Amino acid sequence: MADHDLVVRGATVVDGTGAPRSTADVAVDGPTITAVGRVGGRGRREIDADGLVVAPGWVDIHSHYDGQVLWDPLLAGSSMHGVTTVVMGNCGVGFAPARPEERGWLVRLMEGVEEIPAAVLDAGIEWRWGSFAEYLDALGRRPLAIDVAAQVPHAALRVYVMGERGENHEEAPTDDEIARMGAEVVDALAAGAVGFSTSRSVLHKSSDGRVTPTYGASPAELLGIARAMGTAGLGVFEVVTDFVELDAEFALLRAFCEVSGRPLSVAISERRGEGPGPYRRQLELLEAAVADGVPMRGQVAPRPPGGVMTLDGGRNPLLDLPTYAGLAHLPLPERVAELRRTEVRQRIVGELEALDPKVSTVHIYGRAFPLDDPATYDLSPERSVAGIAARTGRTREAVVYDLLLERDGRAMIYTPGANFDEGTLDVTRELLVHPFTLPGIGDGGAHCTRVCDTSFPTFLVTHWSRDAQPDERLDLEWVVQQQSAETAAWVGLTDRGVVAEGRKADLNLIELERLESRIPEMASDFPLGGRRLLQRADGYHATVVSGEVVVEGGEHTGALPGAVARPAALLRTR
Ligand SMILES: [Zn+2]
């Protein structure tokens, strides 16, 4: 008879609290950590962790797996990057609550805002819920490798209560409708939602071209919902906003938080061409709020959020060129063969060079970087398209063309968007180390063929605790704490995020020297063969969820211990 289900022996434990690492064994029984220290007896399974770092599983508070969770039990790529809990329902979009007549519209909104094709969502979602509680129950019946937690998306809530009128952001809800929205959120929180999310960004549009319905929602609407959440004493807010009238907008968010007494996080970044003024002002207002006891945080990116240009993706500079359009229908290998022909190259590079730089992608060539495998995201200027052009005497257009054809047309060119106006990671670091920010905004599950930031948690460890210049490096203990205990506690999941007796056994066993994000690849594994960028990782020796090894050496083990994480249930059992 074994004494424990699992014993991890001789690990370097970085426990998530920020405490210095120590060598210890970790015993697990059922879904729970039962001992950390010197563990006697034997485990039914023993893992020799000599040389491995054992950390809590990552808790990623910003994903868009709301649809994917219904067809992909692995929630890949997040599960490949050590993430053991994903929070979905961000940015105000999602699929519950939902009436049958609004389903099509919610799908088109997700398609527009998060760039997940409607056809894929239609094929992959079996609608078996009306209320948010029923959605959580539907998720609970799905096979899952890792845990999921969900927020109530404002857009879905709005049309659930207001009907078709709610689709239009210029339509204001009546007092009665605001009260009903509040009541729905309270019911959802009681059933296990982790919070409520909204978007105030004009960039968020449905695929029918209409701006997201929560854009410009009035203080009456938002504060009405906030009051209801305050009464419930549950849940967090997640907000994305353009901060057009910065101070006034921040004041509204702060009021949201003050009226409810509930925590609020808002995405903060240096937007392109804006300089440091706006984000520094946001941090200043954040500091003032926290100093007054208002629980607000900024949600920030561990590396510049960016697009990926690739021949087979939704984003590359050739897409609108006449000669390329004639080849675009060809399967990738044939297309690459055509593109390699000298006369085709000459013609397309010529068309690219003839574009008006004001409207073409040429302006980003100074910030376009071919990714290697593994993808280290080295953003030195000489590695950019513009840098390579200067060095090799080719035009930037010719360089981009040639780069796209590398790796048999599977090359990936990363184009950092926000936080990169200075051409360094300084802004990223400044935002990351700010005492009132949390790592997030990786957008797992979204922007299928255009963005691949699911590897943020891995980059947080590899770059910031290991590869950065010594004077810029951050303690491993600190980055682990940010991505586990801090994010878990933020969304009310106090049962996880720390390697300690009594906590949920969600663990990462990491070969720190080998930890790397691989180059993204274009997978066709979505419903109907839908394509999406997928990124793997090396160096996660094993990832454990509720005591079961779900990923080992980069491969899924077949174990499906994942469940719906419900903060309200934790409060009840306390
Ligand atoms: Zn988002």
pLDDT tens-digit map of 81-122? 999 999 999 999 999 999 999 999 999 999 999 999 999 999
Reduced to 3 states, what is the DSSP secondary structure of residue 241? strand
Class of domain 4-56+504-572: mainly beta
Rounded to the nearest whole angstrom, what is the distance from the C-alpha of residue 440 to the centroid of ligand 1? Answer: 9
Question: Do the Cβ atoms of 375 and 517 come closer than 8 Å?
Answer: yes
Rounded to the nearest whole angstrom, what is the distance from the C-alpha of residue 116 to the centroid of ligand 1? Answer: 12
Residue with structure tokens 């709020």?
Answer: 289
pLDDT of residue 147: 98
pLDDT of residue 571: 86
Question: Do the Cβ atoms of 108 and 206 come closer than 8 Å?
Answer: yes
Q: Are strands 306-309 and 413-416 parallel, antiparallel or unpaired?
A: antiparallel
CATH architecture of 58-305+422-453: Alpha-Beta Barrel (3.20)
Rounded to the nearest whole angstrom, what is the distance from the C-alpha of residue 552 to the centroid of ligand 1? Answer: 29
Rounded to the nearest whole angstrom, what is the distance from the C-alpha of residue 357 to the centroid of ligand 1? Answer: 30
The ranges of the chain with pLDDT < 50 are none
Q: Are strands 22-29 and 4-13 parallel, antiparallel or unpaired?
A: antiparallel
* Amino acid sitting at position 188: A
pLDDT of residue 573: 65
* Amino acid sitting at position 375: A
Rounded to the nearest whole angstrom, what is the distance from the C-alpha of residue 388 to the centroid of ligand 1? Answer: 33
Rounded to the nearest whole angstrom, what is the distance from the C-alpha of residue 88 to the centroid of ligand 1? Answer: 9
Question: Do the Cβ atoms of 208 and 108 come closer than 8 Å?
Answer: yes
pLDDT of residue 337: 98
- Output the furthest CA–CA distance in the chain (Å, rounded): 75
Question: Considering Cα of 198, then 203, then 204, then 209, what sign does the dihedral take?
Answer: positive
Rounded to the nearest whole angstrom, what is the distance from the C-alpha of residue 214 to the centroid of ligand 1? Answer: 14
pLDDT of residue 122: 97
Rounded to the nearest whole angstrom, what is the distance from the C-alpha of residue 386 to the centroid of ligand 1? Answer: 30
Rounded to the nearest whole angstrom, what is the distance from the C-alpha of residue 441 to the centroid of ligand 1? Answer: 6
Helices vs. strands in the chain: H and E counts, helices first = 18, 24
pLDDT of residue 9: 98
**Per-residue pLDDT tens over the stretch 218-260:** 999 999 999 999 999 999 999 999 999 999 999 999 999 999 9
Rounded to the nearest whole angstrom, what is the distance from the C-alpha of residue 445 to the centroid of ligand 1? Answer: 10
Rounded to the nearest whole angstrom, what is the distance from the C-alpha of residue 442 to the centroid of ligand 1? Answer: 8
Domain ranges of the chain: 4-56+504-572, 58-305+422-453, 308-416
- Asked, as a colleague might, if the bond just before 97 is cis with ω within 30 of 0, I would say yes
| 103 exposure class (CB count in 10 Å sphere: 0-12, 13-18, 19+) | middle
